[in-house]
Amino acid sequence: MKTIKEINEKIRSGDVVVVTAEEMIGIVEDVGPEKAAEEVDVVTTGTFGAMCSSGVFLNFGHADPPIKMLKIYLNGVECYGGLAAVDTYIGATQPNSDPDIDIDYGGAHVIEDLVAGKEVELVAEGYTTDCYPRKKVRTTITLDDINQAILVNPRNSYQTYNAATNSRDEKIYTYMGTLLPEFGNVNYSGAGQLNPLQNDYNRKTKTYNTIGIGTRIFLGGGIGYIIGEGTQHNPDNAFGTLMVKGDLKQMDRKYLRAATIPNYGSTLFVGVGVPIPVLNAEVAKCCAIRDRDIEVPIIDYGVPRRDRPVVARTNYEELRKGKITIEVEIDGKKVEKTIKTSSVSSYKMSREIAKELKDWILKGEFFLTERVDVLGKGSAKPMKSDVKLVGEILSKPPIVAPIGITIEEASRILIKNNINHLPIVDEFGRLVGIITSWDIARAIAQNKKSIEEIMTRNVITTTVNEPVDVVARKMDKYNISGVPVVDKENKVVGMVTSEDLSKLVGYTNKW
């Protein structure tokens, strides 16, 4: 048994033995956890990835005359103004207030610019009082001009993370990056065997051996602290998270980088490294975890619901090979498919962070701290909210027409039923196209002769179990005003139109 006090004495005397989590794997395999615990004092870990739940508290100091700021913008990015007069919080994912810029320059980019020493424009306004007579202020600031800039991240360093794939027949854009159609790729995130929480996790007790509130860490190139379990912390399922804080003025742009995830939003890549004191053999054993020991579920992000299906289960070792073979369902058939894999976080940077922290300790520049309390159990419950499904609002019975119908007959159906959309079906009742009243008008103007000439063949559809919000998103994305509802055999069971959605919104607004 060792103590943190004894380890810190070794750091002072230059006798400390420090290894990275990667190096610890080989040591434990060679000599076993008991001997490894005797030989090694500290294991360093590291992770570097997109950590959206990040941001900075800033204090600007008082203007003359003073102002109580409520609406606050830094380089066009809105900050939270519900604090004291000249305090604010800027979140990493906040988009730009200029719609032409939007997600291309958000809160994360402001944070990186501050760390880089760049000037940032501050625009703020508030209401006037006797002690705060000023209404507006516009100025430029740098990090040196700010009194305090404290990075406080509610959820960082996920212990592990789901991998993502896409079953749809279209490309989709997610916080896990771009996902290609029909299981075209698998994206994953996380440092695996270098991850801080993975290396400190006791799988028997589902707790953490040494990490807790007050643990001193490497954060963004400076020194930071763990201030509690992160939001959505779920150690029972090995999905722990950390809440961390640190002085932005100490940080290095190399380890704190802004990024824009295409068609999704801005985010902040944060470097986190945690030293694990090897107090006993149990700690040493946990620090020898390998990529192949860490299970990673592959989730179908093509299903736009909170509870997405698990397509397969794998591990980090397999994912890092660049391709993986799994069984997937395409067009109702189970097939084996070899899929390319890619990481949306950086293992290379994670390795550098573990090495940098190791060097700090060996040089006597970083000492360990005793935790003042353990991480709590946390909670990862879903939001309590209603969901309205397409099946609750679709028009029944469906009004459809056979593919052999004439344009004149189709126009009569539209007029008789006072509708603007007419799904076209084959002899088995399966959807093959759709026409609208606009198509009819265009057909007459262009002297078209058959339905097949004017119908849209690549029809955007929905199902009775799809949320109404998802259908509204489809209509907006594809600039359409109606979506056929189909069953598993692609037979039309109803129709949802923008008018249906408008009625729904009008009804709900009454409440």
Helix and strand totals (H; E) in the chain: 12, 33
Per DSSP bridges, beta strands 42-44 and 18-20 are parallel
Phi-psi region of 117 (alpha: psi -120 to 50; beta: other; left: phi over 0): left
Helix (H) or strand (E) holding 443: helix 437-445
Strands (E), 301-453: 310-315, 323-330, 333-343, 373-374, 401-402, 421-425, 431-436
For residues 70 and 86, the answer to whether their CB atoms sit within 8 Å is: no
H or E element at residue 272? strand 265-273
Contact indicator for 427, 402 with CB cutoff of 8 Å: yes
Burial 453-471 (b: 16+ CB within 10 A, else e): ebbeeebbbbbbebbbebb
Using N-to-C axis directions, what is the helix angle for 347-362 and 21-39, rounded to 10°? 40
Report the alpha-carbon distance of residue 315 to residue 292 in Å, rounded.
Answer: 5
- Tell me which amino acid residue 256 is: L
Indicate which residues carry an active-site annotation.
131
Cβ 375 vs Cβ 235: under 8 Å: yes
Mode of pairing for the β-strands spanning 77-79 and 71-74: antiparallel
Determine contact, residues 208/305, Cβ cutoff 8 Å.
no
Torsion, Cα 478 484 486 492, to 10 degrees, reads -150
Residue 165 and residue 298: Cα distance in Å, rounded? 7
Q: At what angle do helices 498-509 and 468-478 cross, to 10 degrees?
A: 130
Tokens matching residue 20 = 């990275």
Residues 497 and 395: their CA atoms lie apart, in Å, by 9
